[in-house]
Amino acid sequence: MNQMIRRATLSFLLLTFTQFAVWAQSGITRYVRFTQGDTTSHGILDGDTVRELDGDFLEGARPTGKSFPLSSVKLEIPLDPMRVSKVIGVALNSNLPEGPPLSVRHPRYFAKMPTSLNAHEGGVELPPEAMNLNFEGELVIIIGKKGRHISVDDAESYIFGYSVGNDFSENTWYKELAELKEPTRLISKGTDTWACLGPVIATGVDWRNLQIEVRLNGHTVAKGRTKYMRNDVPELVSYISRYMTLLPGDVIYTGTVAPAVLPGERHEMQVGDVVEVEIENIGLLRNKIVPMLVP
């Protein structure tokens, strides 16, 4: 009997050590911003528990020792929008897996707004005049320190972590083909609620070959991998830093997968649609399309 107990104990210890080794090798930390009661704080998501931090994780905050069950808190946008300087994105930044790789000298950057930021489970407003609001699931870069004229080799040292994004876009307006008869490109990207982000910012993630999957009402409508980016993460950071100073908390949407929607699938959003973006090793972002309430 004692021998059986010793074997069982040894098996448990080996299993525990193996799990610890796996966690240690993964090296991924998931940061969140959450509300518990009347207080909004930053924290670290650890399984089903949120460990509170004593300040902003971008500023080196430390655990307070307090923790809360995930079920008892509300996950917010992982960055405070009022402290975000820039929300920018890149159009047409993915190659087709079966096609030749294309090199783009000047990535097609555009601006969204801090007020565009939207949380996991947040409602995405559909204006009544918008006929072609599209989902665009993609990897998002979160800048961790100030930089200008950053080299490609140094770019990753300026990145705090990565998140899941859905860059909702009115792509008919984006082309500006109707000239003054439709809203401008700025509105086609920068409307409130159209920059869905989170709910976590993950550090320690290898961005080079992550799977990105987009689901509409539970059905897969787009899928791709980050290795097919035309301009990869360091190139994107280096390029934009030539023209503007990057600041901690700046958000860069790296471009949706190609094709942006699988053949035969619907891309135009309707009220009530639920769109999910899931990125390997980072997490899941879910949002619902709601009508814009016009006074």
CATH number assigned to the domain comprising residue 26: 2.30.30.370
Q: For residue 147, what are the domain limits?
A: 81-291
Per-residue pLDDT at 14 exceeds 90? no
Q: Are residues 104 and 173 in the same domain?
A: yes
Percent of the chain with pLDDT over 90: 87
pLDDT reading at 283 higher than 70: yes
Same domain, 25 and 160: no
- Using pLDDT thresholds of 50, 70 and 90, give the confidence band for residue 103: confident
> Same domain, yes or no, for 91 and 70?
no
Secondary structure (3-state) at 278: strand
Query: What SS3 state is found at 193?
Result: coil
Q: What is the CATH number of the domain that holds 103?
A: 3.90.850.10
pLDDT (average), residues 222-245: 97
Same domain membership, residue 94 and residue 50? no
Give the chain's mean pLDDT. 92
Report which of residues 2 and 146 the model is more confident about: 146
> 21 pLDDT exceeds 80?
no
Q: Do 120 and 241 lie in a common domain?
A: yes
Residue-wise pLDDT tens digits, 180-205:
999 999 999 999 999 999 999 999 99
* Structure confidence at residue 100 (pLDDT): 87
Name the percent of the chain lying above pLDDT 70. 91
Of 33, 57, 75, the residue that ends a domain is 75
Our count of domains for the chain comes to: 2
Whether the CA torsion 124, 203, 224, 95 is positive or negative: it is positive
CA distance readout (Å), 288 to 76, 121, 197, 273: 16, 7, 13, 6
Confidence label for 93 from pLDDT (cuts 50, 70 and 90): very high
The residue out of 56, 75, 94 marking a domain boundary is 75
Residue 146: predicted pLDDT: 98
Please, which contacts does 15-23 make with residues 24 or more away whose CB atoms are closer than 8 Å? none
Are both 113 and 207 inside the same structural domain?
yes
Dihedral of CA 76/78/87/231: which sign? negative
Residues 59 and 125 in one domain: no
Q: Of 55, 75, 95, at which residue does a domain stop?
A: 75
State the pLDDT at residue 12: 37
For residues 61-66, give the mean pLDDT. Answer: 97
Q: How many residues appear in the chain?
A: 295
Query: For residue 184, what pLDDT is reported?
Result: 94
Enter the pTM of the model: 0.90
Q: pLDDT-derived band of residue 4, with 50, 70 and 90 as boundaries?
A: very low
Is residue 269 predicted with pLDDT exceeding 80? yes
- Does 244 lie in the same domain as 180? yes
Instruction: Note whether 105 and 15 are same-domain residues.
Output: no
Same domain, 267 and 196: yes
pLDDT at residue 16, as a whole number: 35
- My answer on whether 33 and 139 are in the same domain is no
Question: Which stretch of 61-65, 72-76, 103-107, 282-286 has the lowest confidence by average pLDDT?
Answer: 103-107
Task: Please name which of 159, 137, 144, 146 lies closest in space to residue 236, comparing C-alpha atoms.
Answer: 159
Looking at the structure, do residues 48 and 123 belong to the same domain, yes or no?
A: no
Assess contact for 34 and 44: CB atoms under 8 A.
no
